[in-house]
Amino acid sequence: MFKWLFGKKIAKPVPRFDFANMPALNEWGVFYQGGGLSLYSRFAGQLPGGTQYIYLKSFPEALPLERNIFGDWLCPVSTGVYLQQWADTTGTKAALVFVSNEGEARIVKEDIEGTDWQSGYEGGKPVIDFGGAIEKFKIE
């Protein structure tokens, strides 16, 4: 019994792991660039239906973007970009956020149910359809 407790143990070979084939978990990628504004995204998670949510950072830095969760949806306009900020990781409530080309961020509309948004044009002007009972948001 003492030989079993204190005897030499045979080392098992450790399988070799190839890091070159593994994606970087914390890698930031370009999400949007335009008008002097650059947004970088990093994967944060995924809902069961496949909808992804991300973290964002920007240059010039827009502090309200840091440490918030965003959908992978955007609507670029000539003066900046509209983004979908999530209240939590369930994707049930969101806010429409505008980030100007100068890096200033502000919430335009809050407490929007759902995150299945579409953007397009009506009468030559951009609009955002929130996909529910809420009226379309017309961008001036």
Per-residue model confidence as pLDDT tens digits over 114-128:
888 888 888 888 889
User: Are 118 and 102 a contacting pair, CB within 8 Å?
Assistant: no
Q: Total structural domains in the chain?
A: 1
Q: Tell me whether strands 137-138 and 93-100 are parallel, antiparallel or unpaired.
A: unpaired
Mean of all residue pLDDT scores within the chain: 83
Domain residues for the domain of 90 are 2-138
Locate tokens 């069961």: which residue?
48
Of the candidates 112, 97, 115, which has an alpha carbon nearest to the alpha carbon of residue 47? 115
Tens-place pLDDT, residues 8-56: 666 677 666 555 555 555 688 999 999 989 999 999 888 888 888 999 9
> What is the value of pTM for the model shown?
0.77
Of residues 8 and 73, more confidently modeled? 73
